[in-house]
Structure 1
């Protein structure tokens, strides 16, 4: 990779999983200290990332508001408005750490040149991924979840020997 990359991390929800995925920021910063790193997340979990100095921008999807509103066309317009803002950034890489349909579609719609996630994702999410990491076993007792979240960073050549929150 010749230039400083623009990287989008997509991990939308599950507060504990968002916390467990934050070590990827330190790993990516060690490899790409000047990279532009953004994170796509839902509103319920977004406070975890607010004011994190390793993140340049946070894209918040207001899922709680959308749920209150119910099925409404305004939700769709707001969703695509956020996607439009993401696309303006012209990301080089989108890392789908959630590996569900909702996160995969955001990574795909981001327009990133490279979308990276594990093969064998749930909800057919891997059909939206350009670069697939080896499938993983969510129930492997020898592999902690944090290691799994660091695999995309390792794939990009980032060091994963140190876990920092």
Structure 2
């Protein structure tokens, strides 16, 4: 049995994408610890396959002066090195993980040959990638599982094993959803994501909600960047009212979750209960979308020549992809799933 450290600092969705790797390593007798920042902490802190979680305070680190930055790095590295890891796996593969990875003290520091932003310098063993990093047809979950394959472990299934929520969280969600009509199926609308051009256009969301209103229980989640989506709608507005654990429990009680490419759609997929429609604009659906059961998980993208560009800013300065796919295509899937 090896003692293994997995490094993935950000983001929420990307931390979720490492959980199948965590589970397959644990199922094969290894002890798994995890290094993560604030965004993904709640995903891994109570995970049944993870023994110990190191929290790297990335938000504080970014705001700090150089002396405080060095102190944070030193403290984190000291805590990691005390564990005397046999293996460290860099699932971040970016500059932000380089120093922590390089000085982890692990005997074997494994990364990919095409790791980005000089992060390859932290490794001493290198995996030849099956495809180019820009091959958008190879799912990131499979790329993460290539770490297991390198260690001569062949994954047999994709499983997330999200920890069951506490009684307190369930009671809190009971209150939030107390007005649910049990005679109707429930759709969670989670319209927010990170990059501007990953957002489906607000006019599409309004049209979609109008067509769904009255037929289903509609529950709106997120930080509340687009409160107008649920104006004049018979739904439950949870904008800004849930933490990550409560949000996960809300997803677990839904029949369907509709979201752009985001931590929310990944969270819903990892729950295993609701069907998921994930709407993709600029990012590649085959790389980051929910997959497995094609009657339950849908990654939907338009057919524009520029898609997917995988860029934070639109080179054409038009954001045409944010209007795709059309609302009618989403409605067709909703009717198919919930019929």
Q: With the length of structure 2 as denominator, give the TM-score of the two structures.
A: 0.45
Instruction: List aligned pairs for 1:109-128, cutoff 5 A.
Output: 109-128=103-122
Q: Against the structure 1 CA distance between its residues 142 and 44, is the aligned structure 2 distance closer, same or farther, given a 3 Å change threshold?
A: closer
Whether 2:111 is the aligned partner of 1:87: answer: no
Higher normalized helix content (fraction of residues): 1
Q: Which has the higher contact order (CA 8 A, sep 6+)?
A: 1
Q: Which residue matches 1:145?
A: 140
Q: Distance in 1 between matches of 2:32 and 2:86?
A: 10
Contact 2:36 2:56 in 1 (8 A): yes
1:65-108 CA-to-partner distances (Å, cap 9, x unmatched) read 2334x324123212211110100000000000111122132122
Unmatched 5+ residue regions in structure 2?
161-339
Unmatched 5+ residue regions in structure 1?
none
Q: Which residue matches 1:9?
A: 6
1:89-142 CA-to-partner distances (Å, cap 9, x unmatched) read 000000001111221321221110001111021111112211100134233243
Q: Against the structure 1 CA distance between its residues 12 and 19, is the aligned structure 2 distance closer, same or farther, given a 3 Å change threshold?
A: same
Q: CA RMSD in A?
A: 1.4
1:23-51 CA-to-partner distances (Å, cap 9, x unmatched) read 1011101222xx32110111122111121
1:123-163 CA-to-partner distances (Å, cap 9, x unmatched) read 11112211100134233243111100110111112221311
Whether 2:56 is the aligned partner of 1:61: answer: yes
Contact 1:11 1:98 in 2 (8 A): yes
Q: Which residue matches 1:108?
A: 102
Q: Against the structure 1 CA distance between its residues 128 and 72, is the aligned structure 2 distance closer, same or farther, given a 3 Å change threshold?
A: closer
Contact 2:3 2:85 in 1 (8 A): yes
Contact 2:73 2:100 in 1 (8 A): no
What is the number of equivalent residue pairs in this alignment? 159
In the TM superposition, structure 1's runs of 4+ consecutive aligned residues that sit over 3 Å from their partners are none
Judge which range, 130-139 or 45-54, deviates more: 130-139
Q: Which residue matches 1:50?
A: 45
Larger Cα Rg: Structure 1 or Structure 2?
2
Q: Which residue matches 2:181?
A: none
Contact 2:88 2:110 in 1 (8 A): yes
Q: Which residue matches 1:129?
A: 123
Deviation at 1:15, TM superposition (A): 1.1
